[in-house]
Amino acid sequence: MRTAGWGRRAVLFVWVLFALFPVYWTLITAFKQQVDIYDGPRFIPFVDFEPTLQAWRTLFGDGGGDFLGKFANSVVFSGVSSLLAVILGGFAAYGLARYRYKYGPYRNDDLSFLIVSQRIMPPIVSVLALYVVFVNLRLLDTAFGMILAYTAMNLPLTVYLLRTFFEAIPVEVEHAAALDGYPQWQRLLRVVFPLAAPGLAAAFLLSFFFAWNDFLFSLMLTFNDAQTLPLYITSLNAQSQPLWWLISAVGLVALVPPAIVTVVLDRFMARQVLIGGMR
């Protein structure tokens, strides 16, 4: 038994090393010089190479181009579109969970599948249609257009996820609130949504990740002002010699917003689950 326990620990340790090595490699590459990168692999700072802040000076100086602008675009577009997707998707999911619809042979489950099927389709199918619409509405390379596109991209996912959370909430809770004199909109905002807070947070988190990592929509629907961080990283790799030290620095910075959102919402979800259990 003890040997088996040590074996599991060894396998887990190797797996952790394997999973964290790309992050470690990106971290040390961000502090290397050009010669350290192209002169064979060097793994240990101060032993194999002398760390430098050259990449960071370039990134936040004149050599970084419009890095801060692209970074701000990614944060704003991802955050606002995820919030809109959760709000709009929450109302739609509540309607599918609490009311029975009939459109010819179609019922609630059919409508739910129709909605989520929009997310199953390859993104290139929807982005081409969006491109035609955006050209006619003059929304190309605009913040409003990108927020609209990301909201539409994530809306099917939020509806599909949140419907399950709303169906898990006993309808008797709403009946009790109705007996207390709460109108429909107050029952939704003050009773249902707080009980479904972990689901709302999870839907926001997934929507943020999808928008943050998007490349295709930004490539097709922007050309300058509204470009996001993935396109900026691609521009650093589109040269005769990729700027790996600069790409690594940008990659580390790009990890920060998703990490912050994950930590904050993870604690929020844990607290809400605990509060819900006490109720």
What's the rounded Cα separation, in Å, for the pair 13 and 108? Answer: 47
Q: What separation in angstroms does the CA of 77 have from each of 125, 168, 183?
A: 21, 31, 34
Tokens of residue 250, six digits: 């940008």
CATH architecture for segment(s) 63-278: Orthogonal Bundle (1.10)
What predicted TM-score, i.e. pTM, was given to this entire model? 0.88
User: Where along the chain do its domains lie?
Assistant: 23-52, 63-278
- Return the ∠ at Cα 64 (arms to 63 and 68), rounded to 5°: 145
pLDDT in tens, the chain (279 residues): 566 678 888 899 999 999 999 999 999 999 988 888 877 778 888 888 888 888 898 888 776 678 899 999 999 999 999 999 999 999 999 999 988 887 777 788 888 888 888 888 888 888 999 999 999 999 999 999 999 999 999 999 999 999 999 998 888 888 888 888 888 888 888 888 888 888 999 999 999 999 999 999 999 999 989 999 999 998 887 666 778 888 999 999 999 999 999 999 888 776 665 555 545
